[in-house]
Chain A
Amino acid sequence: MTSNKFNYPDKEGFFGEFGGKFVPETLMYALEELENTYSKLKDDKDFIKEFYSDLSAFVGRPSPLYFAQRLTDKYKSGNIWLKREDLNHTGAHKINNTVGQILLAKHMGKKRIIAETGAGQHGVATATVAARLGLECHIYMGSEDVRRQSLNVYRIKLLGAHVHAVDSGSATLKDALNEAMRDWVSNIDDTYYIIGSVTGPHPYPMIVRDFNSVVGQEVIKQSKDLFNKMPDAIVACVGGGSNAMGIFYPFIEVQETRLIGVEAGGKGVSTGEHAAPLNDGTPGVLHGARSYLMQDEAGQVKDTKSVSAGLDYPGVGPEHSWLKDIGRAEYVAVSDDDALKAFHEVTELEGIMPALETAHAFAYLEPLMKELDSSSNVVINVSGRGDKDINTVAEIDGIEF
């Protein structure tokens, strides 16, 4: 869908030395089937038309690029623009990918949909598109996340999907992914697995990126219309990295635009209690791909820590690892405390309540704007809205309902 001189992954699914297909043999045929289907459909006029028509009428695209007056006034060193993915149907960028993947599932004749979810946004987005097509849907979610994202759990159930709480390991996103993969191995013939980020084995990182890159494509057009040049910087939060990859990808060859990914710094990168593999990890293999990973010397995956369920993941999409190593994107980390401060600040200054994930991107404005001059334009990808996080924030602030 996106033509780009930066032509990755290669045919084995690698972005440089990252990516690949590291899965049990049973899954190989399903990945091949998906790859074949996608390579046929991605340039098919009818398929593209159907995808963009759903994005328009069902999701509500394009999402606005909104000028944040009061944030701009606060920093006084450049214009701050918000890419409003929070205004999408279901409240986050996640729907772009699920709308695309459910069309693949339909073309492949799959009757059963599974997905993992962290913050619950991907679970909601998957349950939504499955409901629309009347497909059976199962969502795997770590039991810790079921607790802290109870609102989204209820939304998923209202949409007719089954929620499976996962108790193994750290009971968060990575364990939900493990369990979804086990389900897929066991039900491979009739089941389509909608992975929710640019993670997992090839071809998922490519497919999820492509479906989400509608965000970056819109920003290119909107930047021309609104300020007649390309942004000086784009800032997006990175857990698995799908919202960041979606907005970064069309800009990879736009050299004047800095691409900045913000990871979850948890209690601080130096404490080791965080979820920032690009800042403090080493390459390893998890969930089907080689990428930066939080692991110990024995190759065991470390537990992560973040106030944000959607960023609480020890790995990251392989293309981000590649963009880091070739120096095309910068990856920084923001602590829980700074993200919470930004959550309140943006809500009060702009009347926009960002998801805690997104709040990490906002928090990075503080150091970033000091480096920029007043003629610059910065785009923040507002990956999702914060309604789902009200319980978490209230709990931290000591408020009981």
Chain B
Amino acid sequence: MNRLTSTLSNLKANNQKALVAYLVAGDPDMDSTLDLMHLFVESGVDVIEIGVPFTDPIAEGPTIQRAHDRALKNNISLKMILSLVDEFRKSNKETPIVLMGYLNTFISHIDLVQATGKDGIDSILVVDIPGELNLETYGISNPNINTISLISPTTKENRVELIANNSTGFIYYVNLRGVTGSSNLNISEIENNIGRIKKYTDLPTLAGFGIKTTEDAKTLAKFSDGIIIGSSIVEMINEASTTKEFDRIGKYIKDMKIAIS
């Protein structure tokens, strides 16, 4: 079984919620990214989501856009990210890794994605493809890698089913109409929509976008299978980019983990 699938089903069996944390590879540099990945795990992160930098990240708010720009100044490529994952796997074979990015960077490296073995990345989330299409359409059909699809507040019911049937990792529910790092969560709408998704699939449904506080996390964990946090961590990484003292991030993650437990 895929590492991501088994991790999420173990959590579910123990009545626990998943904590997914996001960072952008190479922001501020690759050594820091590796350190941060280990810090994430030590602090209670269940799944690591690595942002693959792209010049035109249309779904990202300013915080994550700037992180993409910083990473691109370091010439970070998908090839380097896959090497980073190999390095991480030398001491961690348990924590699932999801790559989140934009179609153009993945289709430029189909050979590398196809060559990924069992101990590499576990899943790919492509932000800019319609959820009912799967990665095979684009030449990516690696049995070691599963697909995460996004469902948003504007997804119509007839497409929820199509998208759910097409996802193999988890369903990423986009909490709001907006880009990453936006605010103003509409809790009752999120609850209704996640409930609707669950009518169509047994896949875990995780909530992401706009989660900032432990209160947000606690509320959303009540009706989702877990939460994804990105912009607030990326901002803290940026603030510590010169000192490389990331302790605050560890504490933030621990607090989030407690909030959803």
Which residues of A pack against B, CB within 8 Å?
21-30, 32, 168-169, 174-175, 178, 181-182, 185-189, 284-288, 293, 295, 297-301
Contact = CB atoms under 8 A, between A and B. Distances in A.
A24 B209 CA distance: 13
A136 to B, nearest CB: 18
A299 B109 contact: yes
Contact of A300 (B55, B103, B182): B55
B130 A28 contact: yes
Contacts of A22: 103, 128-130
Contact of A301 (B56, B159, B177): B56
Contacts of A30: 154
B69 interface: yes
Interface of B: 54-61, 65, 69, 72, 77-79, 102-109, 127-131, 149-156, 159, 163, 174, 177-179, 182
Contacts of B109: 298-299
B159 A28 contact: yes
B104 A182 contact: no
A218 B78 CA distance: 49
A32 B132 CA distance: 14
B124 to A, nearest CB: 14
A286 B56 contact: yes
16 contacts: A24-B174, A25-B131, A26-B154, A26-B174, A28-B131, A168-B69, A169-B56, A185-B177, A186-B177, A189-B177, A298-B79, A298-B108, A298-B109, A299-B109, A300-B105, A301-B55
Nearest to A301: B55
A32 B59 CA distance: 19
Contact of B155 (A21, A28, A175, A295): A28
A284 B152 contact: no
Contacts of B58: 23-24, 178, 181-182, 185, 287
A295 B108 contact: yes
Contacts of B131: 25, 28
Contact of B55 (A21, A169, A182, A186): A169
A25 B177 contact: no
A185 B181 CA distance: 13
Nearest to A299: B108
Contact of B128 (A23, A169, A182): A23
A159 to B, nearest CB: 27
Contacts of B79: 298
Contacts of A32: 156
Contacts of B65: 168
A343 to B, nearest CB: 31
Contacts of B55: 169, 300-301
Given A21-B130, A25-B131, A295 B174 contact: no
A174 to B, nearest CB: 7
B179 A25 contact: no
B138 to A, nearest CB: 9
A186 B182 contact: yes
B177 A188 contact: yes
Nearest to B101: A299
Nearest to A22: B128
Nearest to B172: A25
A267 to B, nearest CB: 21
Contacts of B152: 24-26
A24 B56 contact: no
Contacts of B105: 298-300
B201 to A, nearest CB: 15
B128 A288 contact: yes
A293 B156 CA distance: 32
B52 to A, nearest CB: 9
A300 B68 CA distance: 11
Contacts of B156: 29, 32
Contacts of A287: 56, 58
A169 B153 CA distance: 29
Contact of A25 (B56, B57, B108, B155): B155
A38 B105 CA distance: 32
B194 to A, nearest CB: 15
Most chain B CB within a 10 A radius of its CB, from A168, A189, A293: A168
Contact of B179 (A169, A182, A189): A182
B177 A26 contact: yes
A181 B61 CA distance: 11
Given A25-B130, A286-B56, A299 B107 contact: yes
Contact of B54 (A21, A26, A27, A300): A300
Nearest to B72: A300
A30 B159 CA distance: 13
A119 to B, nearest CB: 20
Nearest to A283: B107
B108 A286 contact: no
